[in-house]
Structure 1
Amino acid sequence: MTLSPTRLRVIRAAAALTAGATLFVGGPVGAALAAPPAAVAAAVDHSLHLEGAPNARDVGGYSTVDGKTVKTGAVFRTDALNKLTPADLTKLEGLNVKVVDDLRTVYERVLQPDKLPAGATSNWYDVLGKASPATAADLSLAYVAFIEAPGASEAFASVLRDIRETDGSVLYHCSQGKDRTGWTTAVLLTILGVDRATVNADYMLTNEYVEEGGSSLTGSLGGAGVKQEWLDSSFATADAKYGSFDNYVREGLGLTDADIAALKAKLLV
């Protein structure tokens, strides 16, 4: 398989993170930074190849530090669904999408109303509706707000509970599929035991799929693409506020040991 220059950069970055970074999560929830970098995972094509949502991806396919694999076809992350084509909707129907979780504000939802695949129900979990208006223009503030803003933790936790409970696949999204959606994915993969280098590489793939999709993904929360420092700030804020990622999951998100076990049982093979 021939890798694009962007993907090669992602692989090299993941390897560098594995060699030099120190992970501050531990215990049964968080995964220690493992020796195997994200090279194999990053070489997998996670894109759903939706014409109307170029940043739509399968969250599965990644390996955990204890040798398991995150199931494919169970959880999807996407950008806004308002431009989905009939073929895109048919593809999502074929992927058995039963729940669509929308992380956007009411303003975004009015501007870009979702198109839903047949048979899917929609939930609205507004992450930043109660955050400072400054977060819409300053992503460094937004990624802190993901941890600290009123209602944000409840929104992220609701997505995780939907994943646990849904008989079928779950799709969650924001406007650009990179920030609120990116943190949701980072939390989920870390809970499942995926190492930080791979979590980082998955997050940075937005820059490749935006490039390949020919879309700037400009919208209500920042411009195109992502930066590693933004994701790092969310992890650092969770650690500072709760003492560890494990505590963030249990105290901030309110997930119990039974919730975590159920997510792992459903999504790991």
Structure 2
Amino acid sequence: MSHTPTRLRVVRAAAALTAGAALFVGGPAGVALAAPPAVVAAATDHSLHLEGAPNARDVGGYETVDGKTVRTNTVFRTDALDKLTPADLAKLEGWNVKVVDDLRTVYERALQPDKLPAGATSNWYDVLGQAPITTALDLQSAYVAFIDAPGASEAFASVLRDIRETDGTVLYHCSAGKDRTGWTTAVLLTILGVDRATVNADYMLTNEYVDDSGSSISGSLMGGGVKQEWLDTSFATAEAKYGSFDNYVHQGLGLTDNDIAALKAKLLV
């Protein structure tokens, strides 16, 4: 089973940490891994078209600055999986989803427990569970916490290592699939050599799929859209703390040159 590529339409770009139930807010040569065969052109419809997860997308299909393409059907980014339909689960099983990485807090997981496709293993990497309580009140602060909160870098690095090591498709998600999931995707695509403008466009695609008029609180980690300034905050914080994005990847996330080379070998064609 595979989703059919169409022309990508990118229009004008416009807590997971909770303070308890009362506060509901919303390069170098490396080891080459076996590469899945599915590849399409960079201009694709990235949506997975899951009824129960409207912000579910394929991370693949983007072109890098050196002319390579990120593989499709290998890494998925989504919102919460608690509303997946039987048809949605069948799609994910058909796309060979073997690992599901959950970036949410314990409260979010209890509120919206995942539904998993058959044969998939679930991992829990809480990004913001150890962050200051005020992070729940301010998304700008959350994007700073992605860089400097205790446990955050370990969580993001664990997802990247799962992608490197898994023989099959890796799916990672938070609640709305936009903030923690958005930064994970921005880091991955940047490591792979996708230019910043394309990384920004992928991040802003959330505003194509998320309906602010819904029941989730707009502009929170649990729902609503995204703003470019939030993603810019994480990049700026990483560069300020580590001196460069490359230093953040190596020192903050703890990835080696071999880790990076292996990710590129698996995900680029």
Please report the TM-score for the alignment, with normalisation by the length of structure 2.
Answer: 0.84
1:169 is aligned to 169
**Maintained 8 Å contact 2:51/2:85:** yes
Runs of at least 4 residues of structure 1 off by over 2 A? 1-4, 213-220
Report the Cα distance in structure 1 between the residues aligned to 2:186 and 2:149, rounded to whole angstroms.
18
Report the Cα distance in structure 2 between the residues aligned to 1:172 and 1:2, rounded to whole angstroms.
24
**Maintained 8 Å contact 2:105/2:127:** yes
CA offset digits 1:118-169 (Å, max 9, x no partner): 0000000000000011212210000000000000000000000000000000
User: Any gaps of 5 or more consecutive residues in structure 1?
Assistant: 14-26, 29-39
2:233 is aligned to 233
Report the Cα distance in structure 2 between the residues aligned to 1:171 and 1:3, rounded to whole angstroms.
21
1:33 is aligned to none
Paired residue secondary structure (2:187): helix
Instruction: Provide the identity percentage.
Output: 83
Paired residue secondary structure (1:130): coil
Report the Cα distance in structure 1 between the residues aligned to 2:222 and 2:51, rounded to whole angstroms.
22
CA offset digits 1:217-269 (Å, max 9, x no partner): 54862640000000000000000000000000000000000000000000000
**Maintained 8 Å contact 1:69/1:268:** yes
Q: Does the C-alpha gap of structure 1 residues 118 and 205 become closer, same or farther in structure 2, counting only changes over 3 Å?
A: same
Shift of 1:54: 0.1
User: Any gaps of 5 or more consecutive residues in structure 2?
Assistant: 1-5, 15-26, 29-40
1:9 is aligned to 12
Report the Cα distance in structure 2 between the residues aligned to 1:202 and 1:217, rounded to whole angstroms.
22
**Maintained 8 Å contact 1:54/1:215:** no
Q: Do residues 70 (structure 1) and 70 (structure 2) align? A: yes
2:33 is aligned to none
2:81 is aligned to 81
Q: Which amino acid aligns with 1:178?
A: K
Matches within 5 A, 1:25-36: none
RMSD: 2.1
Between 1:184-193 and 1:218-227, the stretch displaced more is 218-227
Between 1:220-229 and 1:139-148, the stretch displaced more is 220-229
2:131 is aligned to 131
Structure (1/2) with the larger helix percentage:
1
Report the Cα distance in structure 1 between the residues aligned to 2:222 and 2:169, rounded to whole angstroms.
29
In the alignment of these two chains, the number of paired residues is: 239
Matches within 5 A, 1:98-247: 98-211=98-211, 215=214, 217-218=216-217, 221=221, 223-247=223-247
CA offset digits 1:190-228 (Å, max 9, x no partner): 0000000000000000000114x9856548626400000
